[in-house]
């Protein structure tokens, strides 16, 4: 058996766990990361990599914007293969009513110090020719970013190793406890702090975490004539996140560096069945035809699924576990794990070191009352 003593032991080597480890070694801490499979092979592998300011709630907007700024600082240090670039996001409106929704979103962004601009129908076509004519307009958020989640995860873990951290893969953690973790019969880590960043598996190690898998499909289109210039999202995306419906669909077009496009996004309360559902794929392609018919003849080169770790209030659980000194959680990010990874890492490491964080951690702390979904607010969004 390998026995080792570290300052911080981290369970999970997806983008969130890797970011926590990276932040910890940047602070000079001794770090050990334990992953049951391969790095970025779970939820991270099925992520688009859209680093987006999102305003489903004030707390969500604060965390996504903070983490986005952390990504902007890190981005120039990432290798070219990580695909880090600025794309901006177009929140597309089909009608005057949706454009009014975009204007309200712009006001919230402006109050948060986020640049945003309303485009009319003609300006939208000039900005993004792949969209059809006749759309009412869009909200342009120019500071949103793109990254390859798996490549970024691997890079962060390489830095962890270079700075003396240890990373074990193919090693399943049996138990976490104050003072360390047990991983099969081959590894035991003694640690001053333990971070559960195991995503959808987090409740297995921390019973009581209200995290459930929420399935999603992604479809890949090969490049064709023209090129998608921006991340394109329909304005109904936020409502889909909070929808109780078994399957909700909202267009999200993600341009890849090679000219191909990833198509999402579906949100499905579908247990843990990983199979691709042709009916969901067809609904996603129907959204493409509705918004961007120029892409309709682009060949479909693949479809895959992934599982997002969802919580009742659609906010991640970040920080120390009540009644368990030295245990921390960094899980439940649903579809925002890539966006929120670096901000989460700062909050976790600041909590471990006893420092005041750059943003309030209180909205994301593990608390029993957060295990119950809040009542619906206006337009079906959770009231917070």
Per-residue model confidence as pLDDT tens digits over 179-207? 999 987 778 899 999 999 999 999 999 99
* Phi, psi angle pair for 227, to nearest 5°: -155, 135
Task: Calculate mean pLDDT across residues 93-109.
Answer: 96
pLDDT tops 60 at residue 371: yes
SS3 content of the chain, % helix, strand, coil (to 5): 35, 30, 35
Q: Does position 222 have pLDDT exceeding 60, yes or no?
A: yes
Q: Is residue 280 over pLDDT 80? A: yes
Average of per-residue pLDDT across 230-246: 81
pLDDT tens, 286-320? 999 999 999 999 999 999 999 999 999 999 999 99
Q: Provide the 3-class DSSP secondary structure of residue 197.
A: coil
Burial class (CB in 10 A: 0-12, 13-18, 19+), 182: middle
Beta bridge partners, 190, equal 5, 180
Cis check for the bond before 327: say yes or no (omega within 30 of 0).
no
Range from 23-27, 235-239, 251-255, 345-349 carrying the lowest mean pLDDT: 235-239
Q: Sign of torsion, CA 18 24 27 28? A: negative
pLDDT at residue 364, rounded to an integer: 98
Residue the block writes with tokens 């873990």: 157
Gap between the Cα atoms of 232 and 142, Å rounded: 12
Q: Where are the alpha helices (DSSP H) in the chain?
A: 15-26, 58-74, 96-111, 121-127, 149-162, 202-205, 237-241, 278-291, 337-353
Binned at pLDDT 50, 70 and 90, residue 1 comes out as confident
For the chain, percent of residues with pLDDT exceeding 90: 86
- Please check the confidence at residue 242 and state whether its pLDDT lies above 90: no
SS3 category, 308: strand
- What does the DSSP 8-state code read for residue 356? P
Size of the chain, expressed as the number of residues it contains = 384
Tell whether the model's pLDDT for residue 239 goes beyond 90.
no
- Give the pLDDT of residue 185: 74
Which position has the higher pLDDT, 252 or 269?
Answer: 252
pLDDT for 341 beyond 80: yes
Residue 240 in this model has a pLDDT that exceeds 70 = no
d(CA 343, CA 347) in angstroms, rounded, equals 6
**The pLDDT of residue 212 is above 80:** yes
How does pLDDT run across 108-161, given as a tens digit for each residue?
999 999 999 999 999 999 999 999 999 999 999 999 999 999 999 999 999 999
**Tokens found for residue 168:** 């074990």
Distance from the Cα of residue 127 to its chain's centroid: 26
pLDDT tens, residue by residue, 72-93: 999 999 999 999 999 999 999 9
Who has greater pLDDT, 161 or 3?
161
pLDDT score, position 376:
47
pLDDT of residue 223: 82
CA atoms of 20 and 17, how far apart (whole Å) = 5
Per-residue pLDDT at 382 exceeds 50? no
Q: Which domains does the chain have, with CATH numbers?
A: 2-49+149-211+313-380 (3.50.50.60), 86-143+212-310 (3.30.9.10)
Predicted local confidence at residue 375, as pLDDT: 53
Average pLDDT, the chain: 93
Percent of the chain with pLDDT over 70: 96
| CA 228 to mean position of chain CA atoms | 22
């Amino acid at each position: 058996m390998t026995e080792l003593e570290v300052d911080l032991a981290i369970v999970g080597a997806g983008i969130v766990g890797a970011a926590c480890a990276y932040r910890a070694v940047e602070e000079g801490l001794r770090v050990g990361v334990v992953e049951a499979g391969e790095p970025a092979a779970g939820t991270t592998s099925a992520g688009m990599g859209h680093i987006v300011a999102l305003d489903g709630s004030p707390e969500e907007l604060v965390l996504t914007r903070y983490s986005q700024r952390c990504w902007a600082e890190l981005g120039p240090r990432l290798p070219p293969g990580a695909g880090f670039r600025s794309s901006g996001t177009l929140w597309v409106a089909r009608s005057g009513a949706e454009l009014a929704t975009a204007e309200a979103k712009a006001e919230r962004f402006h109050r948060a110090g986020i640049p945003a601009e309303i485009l009319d129908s003609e300006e939208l076509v000039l900005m993004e020719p792949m969209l059809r004519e006749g759309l009412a307009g869009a909200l342009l958020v120019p500071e949103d970013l793109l990254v390859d989640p798996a490549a970024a995860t691997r890079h962060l873990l390489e830095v962890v190793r270079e700075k003396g951290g240890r990373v074990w893969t193919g090693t399943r953690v049996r138990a976490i406890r104050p003072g360390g973790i047990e991983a099969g019969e081959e590894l035991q880590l003694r640690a001053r702090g333990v971070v559960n960043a195991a995503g959808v598996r987090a409740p297995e190690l921390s019973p009581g975490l209200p995290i459930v898998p929420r399935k999603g499909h992604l479809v890949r289109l090969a490049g064709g004539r023209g090129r998608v210039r921006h991340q394109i999202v329909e304005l109904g995306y936020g409502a889909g996140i909070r929808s109780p419906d078994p399957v909700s669909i909202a267009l999200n077009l993600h341009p890849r560096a090679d000219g191909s496009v990833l198509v999402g996004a579906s949100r499905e309360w579908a247990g843990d069945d990983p199979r691709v559902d042709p009916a969901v794929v067809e609904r996603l392609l129907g959204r493409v035809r509705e918004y961007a018919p120029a892409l309709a003849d682009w060949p479909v080169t693949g479809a895959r699924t992934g599982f997002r770790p969802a919580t009742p209030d659609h906010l991640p659980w970040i920080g120390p576990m009540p009644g368990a000194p030295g245990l921390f959680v960094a899980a439940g990010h649903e579809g925002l794990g890539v966006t929120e990874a670096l901000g989460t890492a700062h909050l976790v490491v600041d909590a471990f070191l006893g420092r005041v964080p750059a943003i309030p951690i209180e909205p994301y702390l593990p608390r029993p009352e957060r295990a119950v979904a809040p009542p619906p607010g206006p337009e079906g969004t959770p009231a917070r």
